[in-house]
């Protein structure tokens, strides 16, 4: 397993409320400053979350003697079971929240957000969302279980930020025409992104089961 395997989980990170918030910021009074702040906050939260999970599971794996030698180690099997449990819970959370992404009342304030407010939002939004917490732990645990170095987490973080930057990129590329593109992007994320998330979680779940059986 390498960093390419965990990249699809970035879709789960941004699906729903996160991408909808990014669209609102790109449609606001100060779209560039607000979007930049949001992306910076999200990048910090995702980097810290996945790194913390990677460190914890790496220490557990090392302490249990799973860092070398041939054959499957008991600690690696245990981590696989933890990841499997996390994925099942994540799939349930995504399914239960499929009709609750919506547009919370606080999103109305995003039209006038500046860099600081958007930064705090990007930071907190990825910390308080259970689906994001579960995803970050899953990614960090998987990388540690397979002995991947820390830098293998960097492409995951970058792809997460890139997906969140799509509304801003649409604004920069299409200019005034973005007024038509952004609402469509927001509506799609609100209604259908959970389906893509479930497909990605299912794919990752299958890989974890293969690890357990292998």
Give pLDDT, residue 38: 95
Residue 74 tokens read as: 């008991």
pLDDT at res. 85: 92
The C-alpha atoms of residue 133 and residue 86 are separated, in whole angstroms, by 10
Q: What is the pLDDT of residues 67-85, one digit of tens each?
A: 555 556 788 888 888 989 9
Positions of the chain with pLDDT under 50: 101
Percent of the chain clearing pLDDT 70 (strictly above):
85
Q: What is the reported pLDDT for 26?
A: 85
Compute the distance between CA of residue 89 and CA of residue 107 in angstroms, rounded to an integer. Answer: 27
pTM of this structure? 0.84
pLDDT for residue 154: 95
């Amino acid at each position: 397993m390498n960093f390419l395997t965990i990249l699809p989980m970035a879709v789960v990170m941004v699906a729903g409320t996160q991408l909808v918030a990014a669209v609102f910021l790109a449609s606001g009074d100060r779209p560039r400053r607000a979007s930049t702040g949001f992306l910076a906050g999200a990048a910090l939260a995702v980097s810290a979350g996945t790194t913390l999970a990677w460190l914890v599971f790496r220490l557990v794996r090392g302490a249990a003697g799973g860092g070398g030698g041939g054959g499957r180690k008991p600690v690696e099997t245990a981590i696989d079971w933890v990841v499997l449990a996390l994925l099942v819970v994540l799939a349930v959370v995504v399914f239960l929240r499929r009709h609750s992404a919506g547009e919370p009342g606080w999103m109305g304030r995003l039209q006038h957000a500046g860099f600081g407010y958007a930064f705090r939002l990007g930071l907190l939004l990825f910390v308080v969302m259970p689906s994001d917490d579960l995803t970050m732990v899953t990614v960090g645990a998987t990388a540690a279980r397979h002995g991947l170095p820390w830098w293998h987490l960097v492409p995951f973080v970058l792809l997460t930020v890139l997906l969140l930057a799509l509304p801003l990129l649409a604004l920069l590329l299409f200019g005034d025409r973005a007024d038509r593109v952004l609402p469509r992007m927001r509506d799609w994320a609100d209604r259908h992104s959970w389906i893509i998330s479930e497909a990605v979680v299912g794919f990752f779940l299958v890989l974890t089961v293969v690890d357990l059986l292998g």
